[in-house]
Structure 1
Amino acid sequence: MKTIILKSALAAFLSATALTSVNAQLKLEVQPAKPNIIVFLVDDMGWQDTSVPFWDSVTNANRKFHTPNMEQFAATSIKFTQAYANSICTPSRVSLLSGMNAARHRVTNWTAFKDKPVDYNDDKLMVPQWNVNGLSPVPGDPRSVYVTTLPQILKNNGYYTIQCGKAHFGAYGTVGADPLKLGFVKNIGGSAAGNPASYLAEDDFGYNPEKFILQADIPNMKKYWHTNTFLTEDLTKEAELAMDTAQMKKKPFFLYMAHYAVHLPYNADQRFVQKYLDEGLTKPEAAYAALVEGMDKSLGDLMKYLDQHNLTQNTIIIFMSDNGGFSHPPRQGNDNTQNYPLRGGKGSLYEGGVREPMMVRWPGVTKAGSICKQYVHIEDFYPTLIEMADIKRYQTVQTVDGESIVPYLKNPKKSDPERVLVWNFPNNWTGGNLGDDNAWMTSIRQGDWKLIYFEKYGRLELYNLRDDIKEAHDLAKKRPAETKLLAKLLTQKLKLYNAQLPVDKLTGKPVPMPDEIVGL
């Protein structure tokens, strides 16, 4: 009898063990794959450069542009109406790949050639020793910020990482100029170039065999030379081929689709330009609007690709611009009117220079057609995408300043009015040629309040963005308590980041901190 009982117990044990093993195997098999990720970054696209309104009403600018694919995307995603980047391209791109605030990473202006700053001279101030060489994955590189990049972390966790379009992470002649050294396994058209010499394939994108032109350094795109295609279109085709490769390798992909559009030069995209000319736009403005629509078609083409390959439900798409819209000739209209109702444009720390169109579609998480009013920053992409990819264990050599926006993606009504955003631009972008609001500035936002410090003039300006999105009414003198509080908080943040300030030529010392302004 004992033998029978023992045999029965053993059989039950083996059966339970086998069942547990089968259940474990089934659990492994049904676990969802890591999501594919597309970051669709546009260059120099203003907050209003779309038929999708990001304000509480439709504007004349919204009516001018035709972006039907953005409209379709907005209907299926969450729209952020207060999303920010830096005022210039390379600082934003370094913040995206590092998660660092520009005040900390010190790549505070656009990069060009190794060891050569691009700033204009000034009669009163000098630029500090900012990181003119950009981002580097190698410790000790001079005038560079040492970073564990976002694509490197994704690559380490099984992603097929694709850089397509504009890179502009580092100066020509540095390791950071090569996306393949930064964690990308595929590079399509990315280099130290900040804009193309030409969008026209028939012009070989501006290549000249007798003279090196940095803007024409668009690698791996020669197959399109001597054709009648357009760079935006060609990059999209190459992105699709790269996603094909990821599928063949059975890997999730991270596509950094970073268009050169809509940056100068404003070559006319013949697929779209005529209707804008017929509507009475000047030739440059019609070409600009066509650049926008060509970018929009690229977004639509990528969404169609996902649908055709049954990838839509497991692919996250983030749409964003790298800085505010260019707001000077050859754009049509008076200076700094192109981003209305926002003040200023690219290069400025007024809203027109830093507020961007941003949308996110995360199937199964984000609510279609929802809107989030929480202010966020491009440095937030780093921790956000790592969380989206469900990567729990990773290390970085840099301090990450960005905050994950996943809570807002899950609950658009969630808000954090205590959060602080900081911008630092101790540089001279245009030498005053485009106005005094494109140089020597640092700024802070907390809640509805925003303070801007004009370092050359020792001037503080205070705005309430809830009541005055146009930044038309400086409240610094009327609201001294708020001015002092934000000046003190900005100073604390700048010191925490070990931020740089411009140097006074007379004293040889940095300009005063915001809370040291006389009369404050």
Structure 2
Amino acid sequence: MVHPLRLLAMTWFASAALQAAARPNVLLVLTDDQGYGNLSASGNPQLCTPNLDRLRAAGTDFSRCIAAPGGTATRAEILSGQHEFRCGVSHRVAGRNLIRPEVPLLPEVLRAAGYRTAIIGKWDLGEAFPCRPEDRGFEDVLVHGGGGIGQTQDYWGNGYVDPWLRSQSGWQQTTGYCTQVLVNEAKHWLAARSAEKQPFFLYLALNVPHAPYEAPAATAEPFLKAGLREPTGSFYAMIEDLDTRIGDLLAELDRLDLSSNTIVVFLSANGSAFGAWNAGMRGIKGSPDEGGVRMPACCRWPGKFGAKRVVDSLTSPLDLFPTLAGCCAVALPSGWSGDGLDLSPALLGQADFPRQRMLFTHVGQWPGDDSPERYRSQGFAVRDSRWLLSGLELFDMAADPGEQTNLFEHHPAEVTRLLSAYGSWWNRLSSTLRQPVRYVIGDPHQPLVRLTAADWWPSRERPGAASAVSLASQTAIRAQLQALTDGAAVAETAGLWKLRVASPGHYRVSLAPLPAEANPSEHSKIGQLKAGRVHLRSGNRELQMDLRQGTTAVTLNLDLAAGELDLEAWFSGQSADQRILGASFAEIQRLGERKRPELELDIHTIPKK
């Protein structure tokens, strides 16, 4: 979150530069898990994507745009212009998918310069203050929760058909298939903007073709009849459907007479989730190899950007922040030091695209309390215009784009050069990798904070317990609770939330195995706790309370001091072998001033033995 004084300064400088210019609108469309090979224009023999192909031909195509290996990281790169590790993101969950509040984001900068800003679709970078999209520069918000529909941080029971979406006023259920719903909402928002003189930035972040692979009804049949198997058939059907919907969106821009002064950017969040046809590249999503990170990317601004232009220089989502700011004549924040390049002069025909460049990739996602240093030599890659060093393999990408011939032993000078650059890069940012980004409780911007198991850092109570990754989906939580209900053995689960208490006071903490919005039958079938105890621990202090048989949620009131708080909650007595059950859902709200000013929790705290 940018400081108000910084926003004021950015606004003043930007307005001075823009007095004589009609600033362009920006429509940024991001898809999820659609790699470079998942377009018919890329040569895919199974897909037909005419609208995306036309968009690609009508503008500038970045044929070697290198994303992060996963979508959460790429989203951080797009919005911050910084490598995801620099801005705080090193995982898709586990409290490590949050951008540091002090890092300025593209929507903040554009909004400060007078743009109306909106996000529709997938945010994936935090569900509580100060990390929600409305905290980070978006004036209008309509999103699902977490990293995908049906994940733990999402509205419970959400699905691809008739999805629930959250705006600043709360959750609302929509009607239709998710892609159609999101694009229709984007069309309505654009229609509302068309009569205004204010420029806009719309970030349409579609959740498809991400798992679960649930295509619109009957659309996968042609692919299955052609011999493809599931889930590839549904994956391809989702892509063809999103192509149709993006065609509708571009037609709406034309109808509203907005196309001529709107920069349209299209890209995906990473390489393809499937290797059924991957343009001859090695690797898929999650890999630092070309197939895991090369994304489709193009941009169009009629009359300003060259049409049918293919740029084979290395580019990156990191470039979007400085490039879009440059195209919109918006000043970057004072002292900004991002990792992206401003490509606006090249796009506008005033300069050449840079040829000499190096990009660094690391898959991240190491266990939360492990030292990142242990993983510096795992899952990394370094690229320049010719070479790709992927671990201990070296490839000449000009001659061998499929990464078939390892030249590691044949070009020691290149290996040394690339490894040295990687080592210097890692050393520059390694000191920040273990600094957590904390959700804030007790702040008026979000009086009631909801936390989930997907936000857990590793447990201190039970260090070996399964944590956030194993409970990142609602399906996993249902399976765990059903097994407990049936008396089956289940893995122990536990974790802690890293928080910051904004204001000292008396707080209410509600804990449950299922969220409040789960339907009553589900609460009754798998959400009832057995007789036992609930535990709430911070540091060496612990609050305990008895659980009655059949309880579905428990509420504890306690005093909290201002400052950093590592909070862990769990239920005991839920399994015959005394394994603990972490509280997968929590709600925390400040009720007022402290009841006992000198106590950290309350009179019933029990020192840890």
1:400 aligns with 2:356: no
Residues 264 and 448 from structure 1, CA distance in 2 versus in 1: closer, same or farther, beyond 3 angstroms? same
Counterpart mapping for 1:77-156 below 5 A: 77-111=59-93, 116=94, 132-137=96-101, 146-156=102-112
| Structure 2 counterpart of 1:74 | 56
| Deviation (angstroms), 1:501 | 8.3
Write the distance in 2 (CA, Å) between the matches of 1:423 and 1:67: 29
Contact 1:428/1:440 (8 A) holds in 2 = no
1:49 to 38, 50, 63: 38
| Deviation (angstroms), 1:190 | 4.3
1:163 aligns with 2:112: no
2:308 to 337, 353, 369: 369
Higher normalized contact order (CA 8 Å, seq sep 6+, divided by chain length): 1
Q: Decide which structure has greater helix share.
A: 1
| Deviation (angstroms), 1:31 | 4.8
Contact 1:164/1:235 (8 A) holds in 2 = yes
1:346 aligns with 2:285: yes
| Structure 1 counterpart of 2:150 | 197
Residues 450 and 407 from structure 1, CA distance in 2 versus in 1: closer, same or farther, beyond 3 angstroms? farther
* Counterpart secondary structure, 1:305: helix
| Deviation (angstroms), 1:207 | 4.1
2:399 to 467, 474, 479: 467
* Counterpart secondary structure, 2:325: helix
Write the distance in 2 (CA, Å) between the matches of 1:410 and 1:35: 13
| Deviation (angstroms), 1:428 | 4.6
User: 1:55-111, CA deviations, whole angstroms, 9 ceiling, x for partnerless residues?
Assistant: xxx3xxx12111110122122111111001100111111111111012422412212
| Structure 2 counterpart of 1:311 | 258
The one-letter amino acid of 2:30's match is L
User: 1:212-235, CA deviations, whole angstroms, 9 ceiling, x for partnerless residues?
Assistant: 9xxx7731496654x4x2100000
| Structure 2 counterpart of 1:175 | 130
| Structure 2 counterpart of 1:16 | none
1:208 to 157, 166, 175: 157
Contact 1:108/1:424 (8 A) holds in 2 = no
| Deviation (angstroms), 1:168 | 0.5
2:26 to 23, 26, 37: 37
Give TM-score scaled by structure 2 length: 0.62
| Structure 1 counterpart of 2:424 | 492
Write the distance in 2 (CA, Å) between the matches of 1:418 and 1:73: 28
Unaligned runs of 5+ in 1: 1-27, 118-131, 138-145, 199-204, 328-335, 430-436, 454-459, 503-520
Q: Decide which structure has greater strand share.
A: 2
| Deviation (angstroms), 1:37 | 0.3
Give the share of equivalent positions with the same residue, in percent: 29
Residues 264 and 412 from structure 1, CA distance in 2 versus in 1: closer, same or farther, beyond 3 angstroms? farther
Bigger drift between 350-359 and 492-501 goes to 492-501
The one-letter amino acid of 2:378's match is W
Write the distance in 2 (CA, Å) between the matches of 1:194 and 1:30: 40
The one-letter amino acid of 1:188's match is L
Residues 364 and 350 from structure 1, CA distance in 2 versus in 1: closer, same or farther, beyond 3 angstroms? same
User: 1:461-501, CA deviations, whole angstroms, 9 ceiling, x for partnerless residues?
Assistant: 11111111111111111111111111111112222334678
| Deviation (angstroms), 1:426 | 3.6
Contact 2:144/2:165 (8 A) holds in 1 = yes
Residues 183 and 500 from structure 1, CA distance in 2 versus in 1: closer, same or farther, beyond 3 angstroms? closer
Contact 2:343/2:353 (8 A) holds in 1 = no
2:322 to 369, 377, 383: 383
Write the distance in 1 (CA, Å) between the matches of 2:82 and 2:171: 35
Residues 185 and 106 from structure 1, CA distance in 2 versus in 1: closer, same or farther, beyond 3 angstroms? closer
| Deviation (angstroms), 1:40 | 0.7
| Structure 1 counterpart of 2:242 | 295
| Structure 1 counterpart of 2:356 | 418
* Counterpart secondary structure, 2:365: strand
| Deviation (angstroms), 1:351 | 0.4
The count of aligned residue pairs is 405
Unaligned runs of 5+ in 2: 1-16, 368-374, 435-609
Q: CA RMSD in A?
A: 3.0
- Ranges of 4+ aligned residues in structure 1 off by more than 4 Å: 28-32, 220-225, 499-502
1:440 aligns with 2:378: yes
Counterpart mapping for 1:257-268 below 5 A: 257-268=204-215
| Structure 2 counterpart of 1:232 | 179
Residues 147 and 450 from structure 1, CA distance in 2 versus in 1: closer, same or farther, beyond 3 angstroms? same
User: 1:163-220, CA deviations, whole angstroms, 9 ceiling, x for partnerless residues?
Assistant: 01000112x44521x21111001111244x111129xxxxxx97439xx9xxx77314
Write the distance in 2 (CA, Å) between the matches of 1:501 and 1:239: 36
Contact 1:106/1:499 (8 A) holds in 2 = no
Give TM-score scaled by structure 1 length: 0.72
Residues 31 and 173 from structure 1, CA distance in 2 versus in 1: closer, same or farther, beyond 3 angstroms? closer
